[in-house]
Amino acid sequence: MSKQQRWNKIIDLCKYQDNINVAELVSILGVSEATVRRDLSQMEELNMINRFYGGAKLNQLQYDEPPMLIKTSTNSNEKKLIARLAANMIKDNQMVYIDAGSTTYEMLNYITAKNITVTTIGVAHMNKLVQMKINTIVLGGNLHWQTEAITGNQTLKQLEDLYFDVAFIGVNGIHEQVGLTTSNEQEASVKKKAIEHSHISYALADSSKVNILNAVKFSDLDQVIIISDAIENFDLSKIKYMLTSEIKNKI
């Protein structure tokens, strides 16, 4: 079992039973006590868990995902600037992937490119795109009600046959040591596949998502261009990014 698999399992166990002790993890993961303690120490450094004597529990602030309705009203001014900049990256005649999420939904208001085809898993996005009379490919699958996203094996199978000029990905967290993360494994699989099938990918994240880590990683930082209002404490020489503060008067 890889470290990533162990960490995902630890997170799942903590979600299911609130907290878990080292002895249980040794038995379940099939590794040594030293390995478990090393994993827990590293996970605590990344704010994924909180350790206590003999065990660990989830750092709940990292994993509580509010419903789409609440997310839409959070950091709305920052999201509008990010959305405008993101929409400006779409050119005429392109195949475009637009992920579920409040910021990707906001960017629909600013699309001006002509003759594009948009593929999306966002339920709210589908309705908006219909109103805008934009040619849209709707992916099927299972509805994740909290994020209003369509995911699952059927979604992934359909993505296998689709390739994009550009993709716009929603994230729950961007961490310098780990990369891009989200709270849902099925959504993570769809995001990963969309990035793999796109010529260029943008990750849309307001500053509240920066230095945040969620349970499921779906991309390294070098696979995307980050669009944000602020990126604190990152070595900016090692990432590709666009800041709204640098161009907000030009969009």
Task: Verify that 26 and 128 share a domain, yes or no.
Answer: no
Q: Which of 198, 202, 197 is nearest to 241 (CA)?
A: 202
pLDDT at 65: 52
What's the pLDDT score for residue 156? Answer: 96
CA dihedral of 194, 196, 199, 204, whole degrees rounded to 10: 50
**pLDDT tens-digit profile, the chain (251 residues):** 777 678 878 877 887 777 789 999 999 999 999 999 998 988 887 667 888 888 888 776 555 555 444 444 455 788 999 999 999 999 999 999 999 999 999 999 999 999 999 999 999 999 999 999 999 999 999 988 777 899 999 999 999 999 999 999 999 999 988 899 998 888 999 999 999 999 999 999 999 899 888 878 999 999 999 999 999 889 999 999 999 988 766 65
| One domain for residues 131 and 201 | yes
**Alpha-carbon gap, residue 184 to 134, rounded angstroms:** 29
User: What pLDDT was estimated at residue 72?
Assistant: 47
Token duo for residue 201: 């990918």
E runs forming strands in 147-197? 149-151, 164-170, 173-175, 179-182
- Say if residue 124 is in the same domain as residue 190: yes
Query: Residue 147 has what pLDDT?
Result: 79
Residues 37 and 118 in one domain: no
Other C-beta atoms lying within 10 Å of the C-beta of residue 90: 20
Q: Which residues contact 135 (CB under 8 A, 6 or more apart)?
A: 116, 117, 118
| Contact of 159 with 193, CB cutoff 8 Å | yes
Q: Are residues 56 and 74 in the same domain?
A: no
Q: What pTM did the predictor assign? A: 0.75
Are 52 and 128 members of one domain? no
CATH number at residue 152: 3.40.50.1360
Which of the listed residues 62, 88, 109 is the one where a domain comes to its end? 62
| Co-location of 109 and 173 in the same domain | yes
Number of domains in the chain: 2
Residue 25 lies in domain: 3-62
Q: Are residues 168 and 104 in the same domain?
A: yes
* Residue 26 sits in the same domain as residue 134: no
> Would you state the pLDDT for residue 232?
87
- Same domain? For 72 and 102 the reply is yes
Kindly report the CATH number assigned to the domain that includes residue 14. Answer: 1.10.10.10
177 and 127 within one domain:
yes
The domain boundary, picked from 62, 82, 109, lies at: 62
Q: Are residues 34 and 76 in the same domain?
A: no
